[in-house]
Structure 1
């Protein structure tokens, strides 16, 4: 059990309240484990696949429910929506109407349908929300954001975010062609699946003013959804950025580059490092976290959610910001494609 001696009374009270997790797939199980680690005493779960609930019950002692209605009628304090994206809004609306605070995994939804209705429901009821944004808790990106705030790179002119990973390697224990990433009906596809890159770019540079994308279905993976996308962004503050995401790269790649008038920064998730070159001194500085474990950012995300619920912190990504990011991602995916060259 975690050390609870230094918890505020508000957090201590929240840890005794029931949390319901909707969806016990890989991300649902990660959040269940981390909430238990953080000291949440009453964890409930609903998943239409009974074997998933049985596993969660055996590993973490959660209380399983046979249907969503029964789970919500039991009165959860907070609900974590960890199901496929196509179900996010429907389940979040039901939870909000039951009076539960919300954590919704990324992406917020598979479309904008129902998003404004959910937003109105949450604001009318005064519910607290957080939408999945685990990369905002990585120390390298946090350090980069702090340096940008200090003006360490001068005026930022351009940024680029890149992600690539071979989809069959994501969850090698299951058939990737049956997972939500591969299926249109569940809200899959690389653009929404890897909304992480767009998310942290918005966190670094603010709202997007213009967006255009090139989305490709190569056919090489036997899936229904797009497996490669390029995006071009213009932020309201004038920064230009590009992003690349794919299900195809046989070598895991997750990195970003930021160019300013006084220097350049390179962040790499694979090595958990950040390098900054300063033109004035012609020197390069490196920050590295060689012992960093990926789960640390998910634990930090859940700890932040607890503090949001306690009223100790403002949500790092509430529904309004998540709506803007989703709308931008959908703009990238729905851009006229292909562009004809005369």
Structure 2
């Protein structure tokens, strides 16, 4: 057995990586780790009765983060339900493990700030798994922004039909349906994250949240947000659980041209000075993005902004919190982070 003191985080494959939570997103992280890392990942289910089936599927398991740490693991992916994220991340950090927390980092900015404070106090690294930062489409979009000059506006959308997400499971019993940790703001926070990443984090937000009773859930079914980025860019974000077929796209207008990204079709259209260039094809499947995220996270020279630092996780959730206040009051709300 490898002792915790003998493990190292300075190179790929020097210690096994733990995944806490073995639901659908936990399995996705485990699969990416199996493909990327030479050492098998350690699966830590929340329900003890899951250990047997996981072992039958060929996964290495542990009953707790403490046991995984004793097996030499010095990194943990936190893939539990959102309300658990702060406590689970703090436990990992207190054990001397770097933490990659599935988005959203918490149910609200205060919860994410607890993780940020603990990481700073303990001298450990905490990141948020906002995997779109590794998608070929978003990275190409980001690289093309200089082609259109200073950006004046951006319209970002992610719309789909919640019951279609996991047809084999009742959506009404999912976390998405719950007011305390579900809803489109948290579920579709990727769009808020990359808006902040591309254009900067706002000081205030205007928003309207709606529950039209279509799905019978407690949380908001759709949300419309607007803010002005530090660069002066006017950003609008539209999210909903009600749309068929799904859409995920961004339209960005600059002084010299426009960019349009259709994430599901895998295309980017660049128009410069009223001349449309041939569409650029980009990968739409996120499987490679999950693998790239893992590689980046375990690389000794990881980028300071990929995976997303926990401070960005706080900022994205602060926008969500402000959006709720704005919708309740009908007025612009300060983003408190």
| Alignment partner, residue 36 of structure 1 | 34
SS in structure 2 at match of 1:231: strand
Cα distance in 2 for residues equivalent to 1:25 and 1:82: 8
Q: Deviations over 1:289-327 (max 9, x none)?
A: 36x5331111111111111xx244434211112111111
| Alignment partner, residue 25 of structure 1 | 23
| Alignment partner, residue 123 of structure 2 | 126
Deviation at 1:183, TM superposition (A): 1.6
Cα distance in 2 for residues equivalent to 1:102 and 1:245: 28
Alpha-carbon contact 1:191-1:333 (below 8 Å) kept: no
Cα distance in 2 for residues equivalent to 1:247 and 1:283: 32
Alpha-carbon contact 2:184-2:240 (below 8 Å) kept: yes
Alpha-carbon contact 2:179-2:220 (below 8 Å) kept: no
* Unpaired segments ≥5 residues, structure 2: 1-7, 332-337
| Alignment partner, residue 279 of structure 2 | 286
Alpha-carbon contact 2:222-2:241 (below 8 Å) kept: yes
SS in structure 2 at match of 1:249: strand
Match of 1:155 among 150, 155, 163: 150
Residues 256 and 76 of structure 1: CA distance in aligned 2, closer, same or farther (over 3 Å): same
Alpha-carbon contact 2:65-2:92 (below 8 Å) kept: no
SS in structure 2 at match of 1:102: strand
Match of 1:191 among 170, 185, 192: 185
Aligned residues: 323
TM-score, length of structure 2 as denominator length? 0.89
Alpha-carbon contact 2:16-2:40 (below 8 Å) kept: yes
Deviation at 1:212, TM superposition (A): 1.6
Residues 218 and 73 of structure 1: CA distance in aligned 2, closer, same or farther (over 3 Å): farther
Alignment of 1:1-342 (within 5 A): 13-50=11-48, 52-65=50-63, 67=64, 70-71=67-68, 76-148=73-145, 151-185=146-180, 187-279=181-273, 282-289=275-282, 292-307=284-299, 310-316=300-306, 317-337=308-328, 339=330
Q: Deviations over 1:108-158 (max 9, x none)?
A: 10023343332222123322222011111111211111111xx21122110
Cα distance in 1 for residues equivalent to 2:223 and 2:51: 35
Residues 227 and 332 of structure 1: CA distance in aligned 2, closer, same or farther (over 3 Å): same
Structure 1 residues 122-131 or 41-50, which shifts more?
A: 41-50
Deviation at 1:260, TM superposition (A): 1.1
Structure 1 residues 119-128 or 174-183, which shifts more?
A: 119-128
Residues 29 and 54 of structure 1: CA distance in aligned 2, closer, same or farther (over 3 Å): farther
What is the CA RMSD across the aligned residues, in angstroms? 2.2
Deviation at 1:57, TM superposition (A): 2.8
The structure whose RCO (Cα within 8 Å, separation 6+) is larger is 2
| Alignment partner, residue 7 of structure 1 | none
Residues 69 and 183 of structure 1: CA distance in aligned 2, closer, same or farther (over 3 Å): farther
Residues 257 and 115 of structure 1: CA distance in aligned 2, closer, same or farther (over 3 Å): same
Residues 312 and 269 of structure 1: CA distance in aligned 2, closer, same or farther (over 3 Å): closer
Deviation at 1:71, TM superposition (A): 4.7
Cα distance in 2 for residues equivalent to 1:253 and 1:204: 20
* Unpaired segments ≥5 residues, structure 1: 1-9
Alpha-carbon contact 2:128-2:313 (below 8 Å) kept: yes
Structure 1 residues 121-130 or 259-268, which shifts more?
A: 121-130
Residues 62 and 288 of structure 1: CA distance in aligned 2, closer, same or farther (over 3 Å): same
Alpha-carbon contact 1:29-1:56 (below 8 Å) kept: no
Cα distance in 1 for residues equivalent to 2:120 and 2:135: 29
TM-score, length of structure 1 as denominator length? 0.87
Residues 212 and 63 of structure 1: CA distance in aligned 2, closer, same or farther (over 3 Å): same
Residues 132 and 20 of structure 1: CA distance in aligned 2, closer, same or farther (over 3 Å): same
Alpha-carbon contact 2:33-2:40 (below 8 Å) kept: no
